[in-house]
């Protein structure tokens, strides 16, 4: 098996949406779904842009899909040759993880269409494709290409006022409806053979029609270059798009591809994991790392990754806690500059977090649960539609999932612990930690009768149970944030002793520091040694039934299990890892015995209704020496996008797409679980727990500016310079 290439043979129209995710190409600036050259909005073809949002009327805000500049449809003998309308005799499509390319090979009656495309890693605004059309019989042929404005949107349209240029380089310039952001898409074509060309502007875009007399047995090559710019990244997006298309065609497809592949080579040198012993697992792990690196914002200094990556507009293109808890660990261990980019996004969106806290009557920083540009809260009060009444259901993700601020502070602290780099804390990270601590100070209730500090009316990672009190995960995240706020002075004592004092004075934080010192011992949760950790107050009093029993109560496969009337809400069945996530993120707080007891209690009660769940169970199973229990969760996590797994509906809301959190989780299981990698205070330790299916693991880690290579086998491990 080639563990670097995934191929699907045969054609099933029902797979079109899922394949759009599986075969995605991207470069952090944009993602191009893995659809056919001739497909459009009906098959969810899309060019999804990172960080560009729009709201149409009262619908949900979501990322903007750009016009499609790689559209290409063949007509032979006056009839369209298109997958889904013309029955193929053979069909396959492939994603090459190492090279970052998507290709298709389709044989129709009389003609074979092959194509390859990539979203350039070397030039983030560039998309290129090369078509090879082989005719088995001669005849009149026409290839229709262009920039298509009739595009897929979930809550659109988002682009208005299209103006077109039908010159040698085709151009469409538009503006978003809400903020008027310019979006320009250009396309240039090189036929490489004698042909006639006609250009035309229609109500669905601007097109070129390449007409020629095809000869039997001959292959015709066409190269397309499409450039996408917005007013957020260029003062003259139209001119830049035109210029880039011309340059790309002048250099040629092979030259541009070579530059793109060179960047991918560097990425794989930084993060590739060589897994020997199970080729299917190796393929799935490579797929996970490919998808995660395809959407990493290398083009930006301050940007994060949406919960569904760049595969579409699902989840409003928002950034969740996934970014810090599931994606950040991969990058901070392999590509620290990308970890900084993700965290700079949180520094730059701090003003939004301050506004949100104030909106709810609190001080400090309450980060958006679904963060869009500038920290705008994309989460609504009605996030689910009931499948029975078709009415919106009030959910409390926006206002009660307060652990988000602690998750972000946790990542800033881990960045410092792993890299030893104080610059990010000085550039705003320390202020983020202090403001998040101030929020928890403001949000905490202090009981007059017991003196106990409590965080009431919250939602932990398990979203099936809303508005609970003293979530163990949430309380620990808040306490950890406060501890870090107090520890900042010690961190800077040697290198910049005046920094923290000046910052505290600037933020008028002196009194808050004293209040935190007094409050922290009353809030910090205590966990019974070897005992069960109650997920939240009263959890153990809920109905203790099996997962199968709850599934048996489901009347519609799309119904949501949470909220007041959900089938799981009044039971101990949970959506995803909660207490187990706590054990994974704070290993020093729990003995292996405690982790195992809680694992065995909570795992049978976990539906794993989120792609974030399985990796936490795999990580903690390695803690107590059971890689056999971790293996199933590893395979589920790593193969989720290849298998088309994960939930596609929450109520009547479509939530499909790629799964960056699971992609990051797959690396975490391999490196932090199976290899037992841990970095504390600049020191690397290994505590391997290899499953029998794996003969060896070999992977790079960047530790304080130096790349090293870790090798783990059943006979031992080694660490060497890479």
Distance CA 702, CA 632 (A): 29
Indicate the angle between helix axes 510-523 and 499-506, nearest 10 degrees: 100
Rg (CA), the chain: 26
Distance CA 657, CA 139 (A): 40
Q: List b or e across 435-466, with b for residues whose CB sees 16 or more CB atoms inside 10 angstroms.
A: bbbbbbbbbbeeeeeeeebbbeebbbbbbbbb
Backbone phi and psi for residue 641, each to the nearest 5 degrees, phi listed first: -80, -30
Q: Is 463 a catalytic residue?
A: yes
Half-sphere exposure of 703 (CA within 13 A, CB side): 19
Residue 624 corresponds to which tokens in the numbers above?
């107590």
Q: Is 26 helix (H, G, I), strand (E, B) or coil?
A: strand
- The active-site residue out of 38, 142, 377, 463 is 463
DSSP 8-class letter at 70: E
Distance CA 624, CA 536 (A): 24
CA triple 474-514-524, angle to 5 deg: 25
Q: Is 422 helix (H, G, I), strand (E, B) or coil?
A: coil
Backbone phi and psi for residue 379, each to the nearest 5 degrees, phi listed first: -75, 135
Distance CA 647, CA 562 (A): 14
Residue 147 Cα distances to 72, 259, 439, angstroms? 10, 25, 48
Distance CA 480, CA 459 (A): 18
Distance CA 142, CA 145 (A): 10
Active site residues: 463
């Amino acid at each position: 098996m080639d563990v670097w290439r995934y191929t699907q043979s045969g054609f099933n129209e029902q797979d079109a949406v899922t394949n759009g995710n599986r075969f995605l190409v991207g470069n952090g600036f944009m993602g191009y779904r893995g659809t056919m050259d001739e497909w459009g909005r009906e098959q969810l073809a899309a060019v999804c842009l990172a960080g560009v949002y729009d709201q149409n009327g009262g619908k949900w805000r979501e990322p903007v899909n750009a016009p499609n500049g790689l559209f290409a449809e063949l007509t032979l003998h006056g009839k369209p040759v298109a997958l889904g309308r013309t029955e193929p005799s053979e069909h396959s499509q492939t994603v090459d993880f190492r090279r970052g390319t998507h290709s298709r090979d389709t044989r129709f009656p009389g003609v074979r269409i092959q194509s390859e495309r990539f979203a350039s890693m070397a030039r983030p605004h560039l998309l290129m494709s090369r078509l090879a059309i082989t005719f088995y019989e001669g005849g009149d042929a026409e290839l229709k290409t262009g920039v298509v404005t009739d595009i897929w949107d979930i809550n659109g349209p988002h682009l208005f006022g299209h103006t077109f240029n039908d010159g040698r380089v085709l151009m469409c310039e538009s503006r978003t409806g809400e903020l008027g952001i310019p979006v320009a898409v250009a396309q240039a074509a090189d036929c490489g053979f004698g042909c006639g060309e006609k250009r035309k502007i229609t109500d669905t875009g601007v097109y070129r029609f390449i007409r020629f007399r095809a000869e039997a047995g001959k292959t015709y090559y066409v190269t397309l270059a499409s450039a996408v710019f917005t007013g957020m990244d260029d003062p003259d997006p139209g001119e830049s798009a035109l210029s880039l298309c011309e340059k790309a065609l002048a250099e040629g497809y092979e030259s541009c591809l070579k530059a793109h592949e060179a960047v991918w080579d560097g990425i794989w040198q930084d993060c590739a994991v060589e897994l020997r012993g199970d080729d299917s697992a190796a393929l799935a792990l490579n797929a996970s790392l490919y998808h995660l690196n395809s959407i990493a914002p290398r083009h930006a200094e301050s940007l994060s990754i949406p919960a569904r990556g760049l595969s579409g507009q699902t989840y409003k293109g928002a950034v969740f806690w996934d970014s810090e808890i599931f994606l950040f660990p991969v990058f901070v261990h392999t590509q620290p500059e990308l970890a900084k980019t993700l965290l700079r996004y949180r520094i730059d969106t701090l003003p939004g977090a301050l506004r949100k806290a104030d909106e709810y009557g609190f001080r400090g920083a309450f980060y958006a649960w679904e963060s869009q540009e500038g920290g705008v809260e994309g989460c609504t009060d009605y996030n689910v539609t009931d499948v029975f009444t078709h009415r919106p259901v009030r959910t409390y993700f926006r206002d009660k999932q307060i652990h988000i601020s602690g998750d972000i502070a946790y990542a800033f602290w881990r960045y410092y612990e792993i890299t030893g780099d104080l610059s990010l804390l000085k550039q705003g990270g320390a202020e983020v930690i202090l403001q998040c601590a101030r929020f928890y100070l403001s949000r905490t209730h202090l009981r007059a009768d017991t003196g106990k500090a409590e965080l009431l009316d919250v939602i932990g990672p398990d979203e099936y149970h809303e508005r609970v009190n003293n979530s163990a995960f949430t309380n620990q995240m808040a306490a950890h944030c406060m501890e870090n706020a107090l520890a900042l002075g010690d961190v800077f004592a040697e290198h910049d002793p005046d920094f923290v004092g000046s910052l505290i004075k600037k933020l008028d934080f002196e009194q808050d520091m004293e209040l935190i010192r007094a409050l922290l011992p009353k809030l910090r949760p205590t966990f019974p040694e070897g005992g069960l950790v109650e997920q939240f107050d009263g959890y153990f009093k809920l109905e203790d039934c099996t997962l199968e029993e709850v599934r048996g109560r489901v009347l519609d496969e799309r119904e949501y299990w949470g909220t007041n009337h959900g089938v799981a809400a009044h039971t101990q069945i949970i959506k995803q890892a909660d207490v187990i996530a706590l054990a994974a993120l704070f290993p020093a707080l729990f003995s292996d015995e405690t982790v195992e007891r809680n694992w065995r209690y909570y795992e049978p009660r976990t539906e794993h209704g989120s792609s974030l769940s399985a990796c936490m169970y795999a990580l903690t199973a390695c803690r107590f020496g059971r890689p056999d229990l971790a293996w199933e969760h590893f395979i589920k996590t790593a193969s989720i996008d290849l298998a088309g797994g994960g939930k596609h509906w929450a109520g009547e809301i479509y939530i499909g797409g790629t799964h960056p959190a699971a992609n990051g989780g797959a690396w975490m299981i391999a490196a932090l679980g199976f290899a037992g990698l841990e970095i504390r205070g600049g020191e690397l330790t290994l505590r391997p727990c290899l499953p029998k299916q794996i003969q060896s693991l070999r992977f790079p880690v960047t530790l304080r500016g130096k790349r090293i290579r870790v090798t783990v086998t059943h006979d031992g491990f080694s660490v060497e310079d890479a």
